[in-house]
Amino acid sequence: MTIRENMELLERTNLSQFATLSENSKGRDREEIQCDIRPVFQRDRDRIVHCKSFRRLMHKTQVFLAPRGDHYRTRLTHTLEVSQNARTIAKALRLNEDLVEAIALGHDLGHTPFGHAGERVLNDICEDGFKHNEQSVRVVEKLEKDGAGLNLTWEVRDGILNHQTSLMPATLEGKIVRLSDKIAYINHDIDDAIRAQVLTEDGIPREYREILGETTRNRLNTFIHNIITNSQGKNDICMSEEVEKAMKGLRSFMFKSVYTNPVAKREEHRAMELVERLFYYYMEHVEKMPEQYRNMLSAGEKKERVVCDYIAGMTDQYAIAKFEEIFVPKAWQVDK
């Protein structure tokens, strides 16, 4: 018996009856020889951690664009906090931690530079629209490894695709990530907003603080305990009605007070204009894109989609550098 088979046996023996077992995965689009050490979801987790799109998340905006300070969240640190929350919940409920972690680490791989501002621009100007969850799946299926993709399991791709509020994953592990994403960004965005002096703890409505807690730490503790307590022994992942209502209310408050706050978002219109101008430039000059994207056009991919792929893959700094290279005049010099 291989190490992998022993680990699969441990899953069968120790995990909840509602857990998604590695040996029962619906599999990959392209069949592969099984690893002798790692079950399939652990293998998916490793592939995501080692891919280029994951590394680029460290230079993509979460909420505050290019903040002056070392302690503001980026898209990467957000991803890691989602993963940590999700693993804590999965472990307590005896669900599959490897599957939870793979989904969590991959859920934002398709995010644009400049956060949701960049996403809104591409969604507005691309004929077929643009959604970062769908782009995350496109990254792992088609864009990584020079077009070969990561060939992840169905369950991981389902969880990545359906982590949005309006969608619902097929597995309990995916449902954990879906909720963990919300509780992570609500809590750490409050923390960042207080650090940026856009918000104060006392400015959070008391009705939410009384239910969820007076500090970021206490609120996170409340959310995680509430999910675990209300999901034990159930084929579902859920909160109590009171805590879920408070979470939704706090999320709405954050949209009004932070996500659309003119102080926090004062550079956002410039970032949006930058993304728009890059899009139209590359639509007219596809030959300026890297070879991988030109090859996709030659293979019959739609031009708008490929241009979106290129721009969405950019970090904030790379997008700014490309904009300056294309549109900002340079000092004249004699060609040598």
The pLDDT tens digits for 117-172 are 999 999 999 999 999 999 999 999 999 999 999 999 999 999 999 999 889 999 99
**What stretch(es) of the chain map to CATH 1.10.3210.10?**
41-259
pLDDT score of 64: 76
* Model confidence at 335: pLDDT above 90: no
- Tell me if 192 sits within 8 A of 261, measured CB to CB: no
* Residue 196: per-residue pLDDT: 87
> Sorting pLDDT into bands at 50, 70 and 90, what band is 77?
very high
Residue 167 CB coordination number (10 Å) = 12
Q: Token digits for 205?
A: 């409505």
pTM of the model: 0.96
DSSP 10-29: HHHHHS-TTS--GGG---BS
Measured between alpha carbons, how far is 191 from 26 in angstroms, rounded to an integer? 39
Q: What integer pLDDT is reported at residue 229 of this predicted model?
A: 98
Q: Within the chain, where are the H helices?
A: 3-14, 40-49, 52-56, 75-92, 97-106, 115-125, 132-138, 154-161, 172-195, 206-212, 216-231, 241-254, 268-284, 291-298, 303-312, 316-327
> Which tokens hold the place of 103?
């989904």
pLDDT at 304 over 90: yes
Q: What sign results for the dihedral spanned by CA atoms 262, 61, 84, 9?
A: positive
CATH architecture of 41-259: Orthogonal Bundle (1.10)
Give the pLDDT confidence score for residue 274 in this predicted structure: 97
Task: Compute the half-sphere exposure of residue 247: CA atoms within 13 Å on the CB side of its CA.
Answer: 25
**Amino acid 68: pLDDT:** 67
Say how far apart CA 30 and CA 106 lie, in whole Å.
19
The band of 66, judged by pLDDT with boundaries at 50, 70 and 90, is low
Residue 333 has pLDDT above 70, yes or no: no
Tens of pLDDT, residue by residue over 33-44, are: 999 999 999 999
160 HSE (CA, 13 A, CB side): 32
Are 125 and 150 contacting, i.e. CB atoms less than 8 angstroms apart?
no
Q: Determine contact, residues 124/130, Cβ cutoff 8 Å.
A: no
